[in-house]
Amino acid sequence: MVRDVPAQSKWTWLRPVLSAEHGASITLAVCFFLGVWFAGRWNVNTSLALAVAVAGFELQLPLIRLLRRKQLDPRLLIWTALYGIVTVWSAVTLWQRVPALGRIYAVGAAVLVINLYWVYRRDQKSIPNELSIFTGLCLALPFAYTATTGFMAQDLLGLWLLCALVFSSAIFTVRLRLFGDPAVTKATVYHLVALALIFLLVRVNLLLPALAWTFLIPLAKLVVILLWMDRYRTLKLTHIGLIETALAILFALWVGWVLA
């Protein structure tokens, strides 16, 4: 006798495939709404840009899972197709309205290719790949601004790089929680290099000196972690996520206050 398949399993494919990368989600959201904030308004193009950002972000998860598996999963195929259709349709429609977005699309596509390359090598959590991902997520700032206003402001180049450097610091502080002392050298080197790059951005007039001070947030975070490493390593990852979220909001408010 053949048993009926439970209704829940019949319709499992309807359950969305959603990313659990909360740090990446927060980075995308903060950068996108900073871009809208600087644009000073919300219009149809902004809504299309939000659709591109959200669907494009969610597209990576089912696509990556498909690449990892040897067998095709109908649910992953369906959600890859749905996210892909929304992303492509919204992006093309927006591109027709704002041709200046072509350069941002090119950088975003490059980030996706780099990510898929590291997935193929089964080393998606490598530092180079995570740096490229955060840099790509921070494109949401110039993307939202350009889509909303219809033109690309050169001043946003330095702010985009600042966001990438600030948010990428979480890559190394989370590693301090996971690995402890062996991760100290890489974390220290990253923050020193990032500080030098920010100084360079100020020197070449791509970043306001007042904005450079916002890098004190990740620097202070690193110092506190190093001073209380043993206690930090006992924190749950969910608690660390809440701390990172609070610091991301603090950074956004600081940047907004400087540019207000």
Note the pLDDT tens digit of each residue in 21-71.
788 899 999 999 999 999 999 999 999 999 999 998 888 888 888 877 766
Q: Give residue 67's identity as a one-letter amino acid code.
A: L
Residue with tokens 């979480």: 170
What was the pLDDT predicted at 13? Answer: 65
Question: Is the CB of residue 207 less than 8 Å from the CB of residue 154?
Answer: no
Closest CA to 159 of 16, 38, 19: 38
Residue 146 burial (10 A CB sphere; 0-12, 13-18, 19+): buried
Two tokens, residue 91: 């992006």
Residue 7 has pLDDT above 50, yes or no: no
Percentages helix, strand, coil for the chain (3-state, rounded to 5) are 80, 0, 20
| pTM confidence score | 0.88
Confidence grade of residue 95 (pLDDT, cut at 50, 70, 90): very high
pLDDT digits (tens, 9 = 90+) for 182-218: 889 999 999 999 999 999 999 999 999 999 999 999 9
* Tokens coding 92: 């093309």
